[in-house]
């Protein structure tokens, strides 16, 4: 695993991009930056084992390097399934393709994976029993989030499952400051310097736009999901499951 040192030297005014440099260090970046990330990926495999039905599609929307894709693939127990993994960043799709091909050679899985380089807002969701949008919605414009959730819900079969993981903001300003401080301390304990933390925060400003948990749950309900629950929260990161 290549160590993330992007913000040791990157200029303060350079916005965050999912480019080749990020793709090379992305697993390390996620491990050190998102508390609870490994648990969320593990649970995706367990949920796939429970909710994916035979001859249906599964979607990994904003797949990056395919961690959720492989978790679903390893969890699926039913025949005739297909995973559609989508990302708009060429560097991510290219590296994801290499990882999926390595998994093909190693484990010879029965579940097909189709990789698509595209904007997730342009994907037609259909005959789906499971969809994952892991730390991706936060990068879309606020106005695009409702239509996307409606599209996902519309393409899920009855009883289908959505996993939505996001960075969030707390409705209580004092508690939000506490959670941000805890997150920064988490990064420092994972050997990011204060300068790296500051530079990355500046790089993500106006690019990553978090919302409250209540905003997400209200959006999911309005989109047509019957049941929602926060199954994981670690500081200001949450994972929500929603059932159609």
Going residue by residue through the chain, which has 244 residues, state the pLDDT in tens, using 9 for 90 and above.
Answer: 677 566 566 655 566 677 777 777 777 888 888 999 999 999 999 999 999 999 999 999 999 999 999 999 999 999 999 999 999 999 999 999 999 999 999 888 889 999 999 999 999 999 999 999 999 999 999 999 999 999 999 999 999 999 999 999 999 999 999 999 999 999 888 888 776 777 777 766 777 899 999 999 999 999 999 999 999 999 999 999 999 9
Print the domain residue range for 102: 37-169+209-243
* Partner residues linked to 241 by β-bridges: 163, 229
In a domain, 44, yes or no: yes
Taking each helix axis from N to C end, the angle separating 173-189 and 194-204, rounded to the nearest 10 degrees, works out to 130
Q: Specify the number of domains making up the chain.
A: 1
In a domain, 57, yes or no: yes
Task: Using the Cα atoms of residue 196, residue 190, residue 36 and residue 74 in order, give the sign of their dihedral.
Answer: positive
In a domain, 64, yes or no: yes
Q: Calculate the CA dihedral of residues 224, 230, 236, 237 and round it to 10 degrees.
A: -80
In a domain, 17, yes or no: no
In a domain, 12, yes or no: no
pLDDT at 153: 98
Q: What is the rounded distance in angstroms from the CA atom of residue 46 to the CA atom of residue 19? A: 31
Q: What is the rounded distance in angstroms from the CA atom of residue 177 to the CA atom of residue 136? A: 23
In a domain, 182, yes or no: no
Question: Looking at residue 68, which CATH number applies to its domain?
Answer: 3.40.50.150
CB 127 within 8 A of CB 157: yes
Q: What is the pTM of this model?
A: 0.91
pLDDT at 13: 58
Q: What would the two tokens of residue 66 be? A: 């395919």
Q: What is the rounded distance in angstroms from the CA atom of residue 131 to the CA atom of residue 44? A: 10
DSSP-derived secondary structure for 17-66? --SHHHHHHHHHHHHHHSTTHHHHHHHHHHHHHHHPPTT-EEEEET-TTS
Q: What is the rounded distance in angstroms from the CA atom of residue 106 to the CA atom of residue 88? A: 27
Sorted by sequence, the CB contacts under 8 Å of residue 191 that are 6+ apart come out as: 32
Nearest to 136 by CA among 216, 193, 72, 56: 216
In a domain, 26, yes or no: no
pLDDT at 9: 67
């Amino acid at each position: 695993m290549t160590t993330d040192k992007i913000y040791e030297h990157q200029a303060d005014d350079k916005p965050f991009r999912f480019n080749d440099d990020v793709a090379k260090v992305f697993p390390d970046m996620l491990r050190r930056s998102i508390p609870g990330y490994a648990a969320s990926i593990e649970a995706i495999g367990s949920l796939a084992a429970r909710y994916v039905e035979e001859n249906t599609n599964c979607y990994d929307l904003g797949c990056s390097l395919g961690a959720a894709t492989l978790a679903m693939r390893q969890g699926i127990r039913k025949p005739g399934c297909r995973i559609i993994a989508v990302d708009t960043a060429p560097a991510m799709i290219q590296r994801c393709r290499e990882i999926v091909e390595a998994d093909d050679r190693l484990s010879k899985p029965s579940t097909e994976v189709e990789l698509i380089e595209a904007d997730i807002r342009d994907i037609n969701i259909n005959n789906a029993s499971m969809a994952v949008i892991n730390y991706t919605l936060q990068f879309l414009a606020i106005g695009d989030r409702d239509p996307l959730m409606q599209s996902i819900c519309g393409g899920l079969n009855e009883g289908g499952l959505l996993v939505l993981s996001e960075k969030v903001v707390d409705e209580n300003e004092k508690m939000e400051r506490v959670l941000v401080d805890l997150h920064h301390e988490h990064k420092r304990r994972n050997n990011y310097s204060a300068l790296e933390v500051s530079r990355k925060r500046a790089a993500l400003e106006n690019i990553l736009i978090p919302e409250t948990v209540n905003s997400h749950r209200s959006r999911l309900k309005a989109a047509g999901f019957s049941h929602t629950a926060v199954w994981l929260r670690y500081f200001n990161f949450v994972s929500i499951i929603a059932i159609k």
